[in-house]
A = this chain, B = another copy of it.
Amino acid sequence: MFSAAAAGAFSLWLPRPAKGYTAQEVRSRLSTRTTISDVSKQDLETPALCVDLDRLEANIAKLQAGLKESRIGSRPHAKTHKCASIARLQLEAGALGICAAKISEAEALFEEGIDRICMTTSNLSAGKIRRAMRLARRSPHFIQAVDTKNNARDLSDAAREAGVTADVVIDVAAGNRTGAPAGAESLTLAQWTDSLPHLRLRGLLAYDGGAQHVDGFVERRERALRGMEESAKTCAQMQASGLDTGIFSGGGTGTYSMLHAVPGFTDVQAGSYVFMDMQYLAIGSEDGDPVYKDFLPSLTVMTTILNNRFAGKLTTDAGAKALTLNRPRAGVIGEPGMDYDAGSDEFGVISVKESSRSYAIGDRLELIVPHCDPVVNLFDAIYGIRGEQVEVVWPITARGCSQ
């Protein structure tokens, strides 16, 4: 025992030859090869944002197949990945379109060739309204959410100025965060919007953010369906008054398999399903498993151990500026006995209850992130990994596009 412990202690001091490639260096190595680089994810400079391509592709295929069976479509939300290359994979797999949360996000994706964008948030300032209608002119399949009469009138004016008739959908509140209250107010708004000369009403959105992370499949389905009752009635009222309800979009990664039961519902706006994260893994599966297994965790952050000299602790180079403060905390792959605290801006601090081996300064750990959307937003690029090798480096097209 003693000698094993001593050997363990000694091994803590062995240097490891991590190369520490930057994104630029990896890109340059990739450019000289046709398919896959000779760079292992273990040699990436850290913190590094990685996506397992086999799993990403499987997740995209799984959602698409599942929804096809339920006879509804997908309109994946790009707020999660902010990455034109991933949006393209989703569209190629059969998505009806791509959602964007902010006008700057929509513009950035469109500049990289992504079309059929639906902006799920209303734009209020004169500048954003003008930009949205300019985008509508350049991108005939662009769809803009609207949730007040004033906003609809402003959009119509800007559409006239831009020389387009713009597609719009009513954002019907499902919860109390955004959108017009369901029922009479939304119906009146829909009628008013439909009457405006430069807008073309296409239907409605109803996204119930609060339903996505309800713990337990049965409870989640109950909440998801209840949360859509009022918007489904609104949809029926719109239909009855002769309005277009060709789009009735909502739902997310936690509820994608439930909403085909909602009358009139057309497509799911899931975002996180491409990556998964600690939050979604924790919501539970239909078979009662506490882990949500519909999609495979594909997104990780590689980090380096900077310090191992304080009892029961390891310090890493990935803190809140690489992982955010979301809960549950980051999961260290292969080390369930480690509790990863990203509470420091620059450093992660791991409390080690137990570990599979001793760790040296310079060793790497791979983390499942707490919540994928805001973590991706912290990085300029994401490494696409096949097996252990880097296959591609994708820019996070709309990184930082919070406007």
Which chain A residues have a beta carbon within 8 Å of chain B's beta carbons?
13, 15, 17-22, 25, 45-48, 79, 101-102, 121-122, 124-128, 147-148, 150-151, 154, 173, 176-181, 209, 304, 306-307, 309-310, 313, 315, 317-318, 320-322, 324-326, 344-347, 349, 361-362, 371, 373-374, 377-380, 399-400, 402-403
Contacts and interface: CB of A to CB of B under 8 A. Distances in A.
A254 to B, nearest CB: 15
A345 B45 contact: no
Contacts of A377: 321, 378
A232 to B, nearest CB: 20
Identify whether the interface residues of A are mostly helix, strand, loop, or mixed: loop
A306 B124 contact: yes
Given A150-B15, A345-B373, A306 B121 contact: yes
A181 B309 contact: yes
Contacts of A101: 345-346
Given A127-B45, A345-B79, A150 B399 contact: no
Nearest to A123: B20
A127 B19 contact: yes
Given A176-B310, A324-B325, A124 B304 contact: yes
Contacts of A349: 177
Given A46-B125, A128-B45, A400-B380, A307 B178 contact: yes
Given A150-B13, A150-B15, A400-B380, A346 B125 contact: no
A79 B345 CA distance: 9
Given A181-B309, A349-B177, A403 B127 contact: no
A324 B126 CA distance: 27
A398 to B, nearest CB: 11
A133 B372 CA distance: 35
B373 A402 contact: no
Enumerate the 8 nearest inter-chain pairs by beta-carbon distance, A residue then B residue, closest first: A20-B127, A20-B125, A176-B310, A325-B325, A18-B125, A124-B362, A101-B346, A322-B402
Contacts of A176: 310, 313
Contact of A178 (B304, B318, B320, B347): B347
Given A79-B346, A178-B347, A347-B178, A127 B325 contact: no
7 contacts: A20-B127, A20-B128, A177-B310, A177-B315, A177-B349, A379-B400, A379-B402
Given A45-B125, A378-B377, A399 B400 contact: yes
Contacts of A148: 13, 361
Contacts of A362: 124-125
A209 B380 CA distance: 28
A18 B309 CA distance: 54
B307 A147 contact: yes
A166 to B, nearest CB: 18
Nearest to A327: B325
Nearest to A13: B150
A285 to B, nearest CB: 24
Contacts of A121: 306, 317, 346
A292 to B, nearest CB: 19
Contacts of A209: 344
B306 A178 contact: yes
A48 B402 CA distance: 9
Most B CB atoms within 10 A — which of A22, A45, A371? A45
